[in-house]
Structures are given as structure tokens and as C-alpha cells.
Amino acid sequence: MKNFRLYILRSSIRGFGSLMGAASIIALGIFVYVAMSDILENLTLQIERYYQINQIADVFVTLDGISSKNIEQLKSISGIADVSGKMAVNARLLLDGEDKFITVHLMSYEDSDSLNKIHNSTIIKYENGIFLGKKMVEANHYKDGTEFTLLINGKPKKSILAGICFAPNYVYAIPSSGSIFPDGEIYDIGSVDIKTMEEWTGKKDFYQELGIRLKPGYTYEDVRNQLIDRLSQYGISDIREKENQGSYAMVNKQVRQLKSIGTILPIMFLSVSIFMLYVLLKKMVEKDQSVIGTMKALGMTDRELIASYMVQGIFVGVIGAIIGGLLAIPVGKNMFTLYINLFSLPDSSYHNFINSRVRGLLFAIITSILAVYLGVREILKITPAQAMRAKAPETVFNLKLPLNIENKVGAMERIGIRSIARNPFRGCLIILAIGFPFSMTSILFSFNQVTEQMYFQQFDMIQTYDEQITLLSANSSIKTANSSMNLNGVKKSEGIFQFTVQLQNQNKTEFAKLYGLNKNSDMWRIMDIYGSYYQPPDDGIIIDSHTAKKLNIKKGDILEVTYAGLSSEKIKIPVTEVIVENFGSSCYMSGEGIQRFWHSKPMVNTIIIDAKSGYLETLQKQILNAKQVTWLVDTNRILKSYKEQMKSTVLMVNMFALISVAAGGVLIYNISMINIRERIMEFGTLKLMGGKDYEIGRILLFEQCLYFILGFLAGIPGSLGVRCLLEKILSTDAFTIVLFTQIGAYFKALVICIIITALSYSAQVRVVKKIQITEVLKERE
């Protein structure tokens, strides 16, 4: 059988381009798989190791403050193995010449910390030394020994940079409001030893953040209610299990997205390569029918014949896997850098894993063997008798055109129409080959615009103000409104009251941010993802769909809301709307509604400001000097950081769009080439009869145009499918993505498909020009 395999090998060399086309599509799939696997493996290994070494807790609690003695008493709750507390405060960082509003989430560290251990870059302690998050140090180019002033509870404290710190619960460090991407220039964590923290805050033995370790066999739900009961007297504002902890959840979200992309895209590409190899081998077997019949007549078994063709599949798979595995090295490393930049981890080294390549190789070989088997199983149907005679012409479907069309189209176009009608399988292949890149690129090109629009919509139509200032403490709304209007450059301002509340429905409890907004405001409105606006209600609460789902609550239900800052009672509030939002898990009422339900005076702890044209900088400088301001949200800054962070996503999306175009191009080109090779005899005969190259070109052009239109139409439902898939992958608790295909993206995809089709058409025309009539005359059939 050695010589038959040699024959197959030589046949393969003749069809080398097509096989390499299939190999390149496999390579793309394997490349995405290996790159994503390597990134995932690097990320998860480093993150898990870090979590393990630094003892990330199982449950996280935020409260006003609790003593270590009371913390110790929590261990008596059945199911709790350990509790560790940290003092925490948001501090403003001031530096000579610094014009940014920088906030540091300062936490204390002690040698006795057993959970959520802070990792500092050095053990050398400076007097008043502070360790800052890596992102902040790198983004602002701070050097060890840099002297700062920290504004803690409005009081300045002198400090010196001692080094870098990391915390397992702040791997993804974002503030509690304002952004969903880390922006190290203006926000990060910081750590100081407990004694300094006590000195700076003026509070002793008073911890704000707790980490809790559960005993084996116990779940969060087992301890949750007891913890809430015990801690309600200490002003609990948040409790959540590890899976829902801000940083942990965001890291998991990124890992999940990577996993989804690393699974779905390779499956897509490998499916395309199965399809392509299947077509190739099917055509090859059809062409080799006489050879296969002869070999059967000579006594070769089906198994031997199939096995000989399988070698091709293995060859293509191995080549694809090698190319894909090699491509994954530089691309994987660069993509990993983009991802790791989102996180703060002490170790950010990248390794190429052999396991992912071995798995990639196996996938590629299995894919190829499967495709080849599907393609060559026709061998089983070929009888040795077929070697004895030429293949009988198949019954053709003679498409009758309406007479008025028949008379209008030329002879070449008629040949084209009949050719399409008598070979529907070939037609379907080309239509699918055009539809695939069209669907992929139209959605991927839309993705950039949609996510951008999602963000701009948030700041153009919902939060339209320029600056959001969070005050050190709540004030009367009239006093605050007056003082904010005194700032130079304020066009208009509004005061709002925002606080974290505990929402309860039956036995389900969630913590969420409640915003007390102003009615008829044009600075902060409530809008769902479908563009409908809602007025903040006086007589109820609007709740977002994620939170509603967790609480199992719907419009019209009564929600129990607790905010210890105003009342220790559970306030019963009806849900007036459940809305789907792009970002976050929030709920809304009017300021009046808060007063009504909590029987409170008008209160404001946040000011939103629209600056007069050209006064933004002046305004920011005044805010920088205001000691009562603890937090500033600058919408321009958020958009800038968004654009910065989206660069990686845009790069990745563009890369996948490029890969899809490449895969589609290879697919269209190869199928067109298979098509033309099958018709050498037909076109050769036409030439023999005096047909000119351009006339044959007209047949091909007509066919290609028709296939293109059908492929384009098939691509539209295809794009809907890809859209649903991407929406599912990308939407999380933090934001919901509703993709809609942009006309511009459709146009771009259309242009790309036209270019690919035109290239394959010109390649076909070149083949037609090279047909030698004498060679055609020699052909037996």
C-alpha cells in the first residue's frame, strides 16, 4: 500500500494550495485555542497561586467599624473558621504639582493578618511609610521615597512611599462608583501598618473590612443571615461571598470570557476547516473514482483505501497545529500583557505551555481525520465495476427561465445559470463561504461601535454632568446646593443622595447602591438599554434587572430596604419598575421618595456639576483644594480611561475580524478553485469550440455575482446567530451588552466580501487562461 499512499501524496502535492488552505484555517482555530489556553493557564495559575498564598477569604463584609474583640466573637457562629479585620479608609493623595484628583483605598496590615493578606514589596518599614498599588506607582512614575500628603477624613497626614503592595481582594482595583475599569493614575489601593493607620484615622481597634473563612462543608448561605444579624449594629453596608466580591468577580468574568472565546472561536474555525477538508476530499474521491475502483478491483480493501486518504488529514492537521502553535507564541504573549495590565499581581511572567499545544495538535488531527473520513466515506460506495467504465453523466436539472429573461441574457449567462442549477451542492458551498466572513465581520465590526456607543450613551444620555463630587458627610440639600453654586465655573449643579442599602425579599438579601435622584433632571436620568426614560419615583423604587433576578422580585412587589444611616428599621417600598441597564446593579428613587419613606430631612452627599464652557479646569482646581470632597468622578477621565482600556478589546476584536476574513478568504478561494478545476474539461471544450477567455470569464462572473448575492443574504441571519452568541458571552452582572448590527459594519463586511470574491474570481480567470486545449483533448472523459 506504500505506493498507493505515494499516489495520494502526489495528488496532494497537486492540490497543495487547497490543502494548505484547509491547514491555514485549522491553524487559525488552533492558534486561537493555544493562545487563549496559554493566557488562561498563565492567568489562572498566577491568580490561584496568589489567592492561595495570601489567603483570600470566603466572605467579605464592609461596615462602619468593629473591634477586634467583637470580630473574635464572630467565630462562635457555626460554620465560621476564621475572621480577620482590616482598618480601611479612602484617602486623597496630594503631591506638589499634581493636578489630578487621586484617591487611595488605604488598608491596614498586621503580622497577625490571617486572611486577605497584603503583600508588600519590602519588609523594611519607614516611619509613616505607605505602600501603594502597582498600577498607581507605575502610571504616575512614583519612586520609593516620594513624599506625599494624605488627606484622611479631611485632615492632612505626611507620608512617604515605601514600595508596592498587592491585596488578593483588589487584584482588579476599581472604586465603588464611577468606573468599571481600573485607572491606576487616579485610584488604587495603599497599605500602612496598623499603628500608623490608627494614628492617622484617630481610631483605635476599629476595623471596617472583614474577611471570613468558612469551615469545610459550610456555604455562604449557612452563615449569611447570622452574620447580618450580628453585624447590623456595626453599620454593615455590604456582605458578599467571594464569587460576588468586586475584584474576584471581575477577574472571574475576564477568565470566563477568555474561556468562552477560547472555546467558541476555535470550534467555529475548526468547523469551517472540517467543512473545507470535507469538500476537498469529497471532490478528490469523485475525481479518483476510477482509481479507487481500480484499486478495489486489484484487491485493496475499503479500510486500506480510507486509511491512505486519512494520511492527508493527519498531514493537514499536523501542519495546521504546528503553524497555529507557533503563531500563538508571540500573539499569546502580547495578548497576555494586555490582560495582565488589567490586574495587579506580583507575578506577571508568561510561559508557553506544552500541554495546550499537545491538546491543540490532538484537536487538529481529530478534526482533520473526521473531515477526511466524512469526505472519503463515499469510497465505500464505489464498486470495482466503476473502474471499468467512465462515470456516467448525472441527470441534470435543466432550469427553464421565463422567456423574457431567457431572451435578455446572453449565451454565456445561460450556461452560468444552468451550471448553477445542475450543481446545487457546489453553489451551497460558495454561498456558505461568502456568508461566513460576512456574518463574523459584520458583528465584530459592530462590536467596537456598540461598546463605544454604550459608554457614550451612559455619559451623553444618562449621566450627562461633567463632575460628580462625593462629600465627606451628608449635608442639607439647600446648604450644599448653595455652596456648589459658589464654585467658579459652575453652569448648573444638583445634589443627590446615594448610599448602600440592604434589599430584602422574603429570605433573599442583596446590597445595592440606592440613588436619590431629582425629578425632571437633565443631568442624571434613568434610562434602560432600549432608550426609555423613567422618572425617579416618589412612591416606590426602580430596580435593575440583575438585582431583581437575584431577589426574585418583580414590578408591583414590596421590597424591604434597610439603611442603618437613616433608620435601623426595614422600610417596605413597592417596586415601580424593573429595568435593564447597561451597567451595574443599582436602584433609584427620587430625593423626595427617600424623605417620605425614611421620614428624613432633605439630604445630599453627592453633587453633580455641569461646568461652563472653558471652565472645567478652573472648576477641577477648586475641587482639588476642597477638603470636604472624598471622591471625584470626572466623566471625561472615565471616557479617556475607557478608551485606553478598550484598546486591548478593540485589538482583540479586530484580530478576530481579521482571522474571520482570512478564513473566509481561504474558503472562498479554495472552493472557487475546486470549482474551476472540475470544469477544466467544460471550459476547455468551450475554448476548443472557439470561445474566448473573456466569454468564459462572463460565465464565471455571472455565477460569482449570483453566489455573492445569495451568500450576502445567507450572511444576514448568520450575523444574527453570531450576535446572540457574543451577547451571551459578553454580558455579565456588571454590564449587559445588547449588540445591534450597524449599517456601517454591514457595509464594511460587504466590501470585504466583495474584495475576497473578486480576488477568487480573478484567480479563476487566470486558470481559464492557462487551459491548454491539447491537454483537454488527451483527457479520457
Give the binding site for another protein (CB under 8 A).
Answer: 1-4, 6-8, 10-11, 14, 290-291, 293-294, 296-302, 383-385, 387-388, 778, 780
Instruction: Calculate the dihedral angle through the C-alpha atoms of 703, 709, 713, 716, rounding to the nearest 10 degrees.
Output: 120
Closer CB to another protein, 298 or 751, in the complex: 298
- Shortest Cβ distance from residue 781 to another protein (Å)? 9
- Shortest Cβ distance from residue 286 to another protein (Å)? 15
Alpha helices in 205-245 (DSSP H): 220-231
Closer CB to another protein, 301 or 355, in the complex: 301
The bridge status of strand 59-66 relative to strand 238-241 is: antiparallel
- Shortest Cβ distance from residue 307 to another protein (Å)? 14
Closer CB to another protein, 290 or 352, in the complex: 290
CA distance 697 to 685: 14
- Shortest Cβ distance from residue 388 to another protein (Å)? 6
- Shortest Cβ distance from residue 21 to another protein (Å)? 20
- Shortest Cβ distance from residue 299 to another protein (Å)? 3
Cell 480601611 belongs to residue:
88
Closer CB to another protein, 298 or 358, in the complex: 298
Local structure of 214: helix, strand or coil? strand
Cell 470544469 belongs to residue:
679
Closer CB to another protein, 190 or 684, in the complex: 684
| DSSP assignments along 489-527, one per residue | TEEEEEEEEEEEEEEEETTEEEEEEEEEEPTT-SSB-EE
User: Is the CB of residue 210 less than 8 Å from the CB of residue 85?
Assistant: yes
Report in angstroms the alpha-carbon separations of 680 from 410, 563, 690. 21, 80, 15
| DSSP assignments along 442-468, one per residue | HHHHHHHHHHHHHHHHIIIIIB--SEE
- Shortest Cβ distance from residue 395 to another protein (Å)? 11
Retrieve residue 9's grid coordinates.
Answer: 501524496
- Shortest Cβ distance from residue 773 to another protein (Å)? 16
- Shortest Cβ distance from residue 774 to another protein (Å)? 12
User: Is the CB of residue 338 less than 8 Å from the CB of residue 652?
Assistant: yes
CA distance 322 to 316: 10
User: Is the CB of residue 538 less than 8 Å from the CB of residue 517?
Assistant: no
**Which of 259, 252, 329 has its CA nearest to residue 36?**
259
CA distance 59 to 77: 13
Retrieve residue 376's grid coordinates.
Answer: 472519503
CA distance 260 to 276: 24
Closer CB to another protein, 99 or 779, in the complex: 779
Sign of the dihedral defined by the CA atoms of residues 11, 15, 16, 19, in that order: negative
Query: Could you give the angle at which helices 424-457 and 693-730 cross, rounded to 10 degrees?
Result: 40
Closer CB to another protein, 287 or 513, in the complex: 287
CA distance 774 to 459: 71
Closer CB to another protein, 69 or 780, in the complex: 780
- Shortest Cβ distance from residue 6 to another protein (Å)? 6
Give the bridge partners for 91, in sequence order: 104
- Shortest Cβ distance from residue 2 to another protein (Å)? 6
Closer CB to another protein, 111 or 394, in the complex: 394
Closer CB to another protein, 395 or 404, in the complex: 395
Closer CB to another protein, 7 or 583, in the complex: 7
Report in angstroms the alpha-carbon separations of 626 from 98, 186, 232, 638. 15, 17, 33, 21
Closer CB to another protein, 308 or 606, in the complex: 308
Retrieve residue 456's grid coordinates.
Answer: 457614550
Closer CB to another protein, 16 or 740, in the complex: 16
- Shortest Cβ distance from residue 768 to another protein (Å)? 21
- Shortest Cβ distance from residue 730 to another protein (Å)? 50
User: Is the CB of residue 434 less than 8 Å from the CB of residue 668?
Assistant: yes
The bridge status of strand 467-476 relative to strand 88-94 is: unpaired
